[in-house]
A and B are shown apart, each in its own frame.
Chain A
Amino acid sequence: MNTISAIEFSGISKSFAGVPVLRGISFKLGAGRTLGLVGENGAGKSTLMNILGGNLLPDTGGMVLGGTPYTPQDPTDAARAGVAFIHQELNLFANLSIAENLFLAALPRMGSMPWIDRRALHDRTATLLGQVGLAIAPETLVEQLSAGERQLVEIARALALEARLIILDEPTTSLSVRETETLFSLLRRLQARGIALIYISHLLEHVRQLCHDLVVLRDGEVVAQGPIEAYDTPAIISAMVGRSLTRLYPERRGASTTVPLLEVRSLTQLHIVRDISFTVHRGEVLGIFGLMGAGRSELARILFGLDSAQYGEVRMREKVINRREGPRERMERGLAFLTEDRRHEGLCLEASIADNLALVSLREHARTPLRLLDRNTWQQAISTIRAAVRLTAKVSDAQSVQTLSGGNQQKVILGKWLLAKPEVLILDEPTRGVDVGARFELYQLILDLADRGAGVLMISSEIEELTGLCDRILVMSQGEIRGNFPRTEFSRERLLVAALPREAHA
């Protein structure tokens, strides 16, 4: 083989708003080889691949693709250079045929006529579908295909662009065992053709089956690399987890009781979550750990009445919540939900801080016979809560929340829910994109709430944060609860092992 690498990264660094996400990443991948790229959520895998795919520009450092310097400005540049990025969320047009999807930007024409040369389109597509082993007519609409078939169409599209390097991000998440096998045998054929692959997955068995080389990222740095044979699964996990970072967590003053607040029994929604049972007690901070796509946010949405569940029962303070009750009824029962999508679901971005804070408790301030707002009590409540959540004093109540930092925005959302005096607060990734200082204050607010007798259900992808705060941690994977760890049994390794998806036995 020649000595030219398929891709070589040297000293790639990238920061977002001053927070370094990648720090001096350097490694190379030989032509025709497959690289497994692993790391915890937030380790920097996506950022690195977005740089490779032309979606982001690096702050420093460079790339060499097949021996020539490579500086993509946008995804089109990357495609032209032969780099195809197959995202976890597929980029296909469900309303078009397979053939149209493959050649959308360059549909073949009948000479100089405006019409599509259907025969040529059909033939070229059939050839590509043959290469990926998909025996389906080229004119079939993509919306009629299964998840696995769509994955193969994405790969055929990469081949249509004559890609030399294909990035696959968690390609097996929505595939059945059979479909996964089909995909793997295709990927092996691509390997044999000399196409380089970068394979991102949390499924370490898959990585071991398919890849030649391994790179482990942690906190934006390469912490392990080399041929895959040098690493067994425990070694990969310990590289991913690493030495635990010393981060400060506020001290817990109160303690969990055994009084049940929120009881969930056998909650099941087809294709989403299965047989979920747990209890949040008065004064308890219960964590839910899991990797992305484990079903944690979906569970939270079901509990808050945003999505439905087919089976199971949820009780709040020993009273059964009717399955049809929506967020408003559940709020009246004392539930509150801080969503993971702060900007779109948690805030009215253009509205003022005061309006956002008052949103869920407005009705309480409508006291006069005409149900008009009592401005005095309203203003008082807002001042009190601003002080309670330690919102920065530099901004006025009237300022719009989009001008605030992530940490302060999160404090506004938390303040909004605290005003409603919740019995059980569900938090979904409350510290995502929040800086270290503000995190500590958020942690303090969460613990204070528990100390006052409320129950907290905290979803997070960060193990440290959960082990630092929680009385107990549940681990979710593939829509199921795979572990229940009391504080005395917290261990990063055990939590991560429980969170890794298992190969389905179908």
Chain B
Amino acid sequence: MVNIPVITRRELSSYFLSPMAYVVLTGFALSHGILFSLGIGSRIEPNMQAYYAFYITLFLLILAAPVLTMRLVSEETNQGTIETLMTTPVTELEVVIGKFMGALVFAAVMFLPIVVQVVYLRFLGPVDVGPVLAGFLGLFLLTGQLLAIGLLCSALTRVQIASAIISFAILIGLYFMWYLGQGSPGMGAAVLRYLSPPWHYVNFAKGVVDTRDVAYFVITTGLFLFLTVRALQLRKWR
């Protein structure tokens, strides 16, 4: 596991050397900022506005996560650097975790505008710290899960744009399950709701930390990372 920080550092430096990263950072900051300021007029109560800040991030991540992860493995496969990487004394697990951590740290930088917004809200009135921390925990868990899905898609194809489209389609599907599951009675709808990330994330945004929601994110993220490791291992047999 000693190689994980080495790979994470390289991924981070690679992010900050690519113009796409700045497009994503700027795009996220602008769109989040615009949506946030539109909400301020209708939600005077700062705690509601903080909830809103986390809520809109849910939807922006559908676009941001596939773009952030699309190059992680597919670029290595396409450029052939996967061969130089996988013939050094590193394991597939180290590569996957290292890349995942790199994307997660970059996403944390992307979320800095939310911190600024929360600080700004404190000037408008009292903001409960607990729900805000819960929101950030949820954001961290949700982002991890969506990045893990994107990473898996990136390991399945050597074409970056294909990776982004596949992971975008999966995320749309997962979000759509939330929409379908809402308001419908019955077991099927409950299963759909339970499997969709937004349903769990919204609880965090509201300030509710439920271990079932934490477990959901941890298990699904672990599952997608495991599948990515397997995809990298099986690549040899293609």
The answer to whether A and B interact is no
